[in-house]
Amino acid sequence: MKMLLRSTILTALALSSLVTPALAQRDPAYQAARAAGQVGEKPDGYLGFVATPSDAVRSLVDDLNLRRRAVYSERARAAGSTVEQMAFTTGCNLIAQTVVGEKYMTPTGEWATRTAADPIRDSRCV
């Protein structure tokens, strides 16, 4: 019961932590890179490069990942959790929120393109 409650709290905090990174991701350059399949969501809660990025895309994604880590750190402290747990929980949710055509990394480390079907996620995702 205690583990279920902790998991529920982590999930709620992870979802609430999407607000700040999501606002930062409205950058047109980020949206263009995502739409072009150059970047995608990874199970660890961070963005990854599907293909070798331009310097501008690399810089943008590196900045977004730093922002995500800051949010995960803050939320983890509040939940009495670890940054890695918070990032993983958020990664599960971000992959679930991808839309058709967007890239995401499967649990085996392969890049996949989201279809109308549910994405392939880690079995630990709730």
With respect to residue 29, please indicate whether it lies within any of the assigned structural domains: yes
Residue at 120 is within a domain: no
Count of beta carbons in the 10 Å neighbourhood of residue 100: 9
For residue 83, give the amino acid letter. V
Domain contains 11: yes
Determine, yes or no, domain membership for 118: no
CA nearest neighbour of 29 among 41, 38, 18, 42: 38
- Tell me which residue range forms the domain holding 21: 2-113
Does any domain span residue 84? yes
Residue 104 falls inside a structural domain: yes
> What is d(CA 90, CA 77) in angstroms, rounded to the nearest whole number?
15
What's the pTM?
A: 0.80
The total of structural domains in the chain comes to: 1
Q: H/E element holding 39?
A: strand 39-41
User: Per the domain annotation, does 51 fall within a domain?
Assistant: yes
Helical packing angle, 55-79 and 2-16, nearest 10°: 140
Per-residue pLDDT of the chain (126 residues; tens, 9 = 90+): 444 444 444 444 444 445 445 545 568 888 999 999 999 999 999 999 999 999 999 999 999 999 999 999 999 999 999 999 999 999 999 999 999 999 999 999 999 999 999 999 999 998
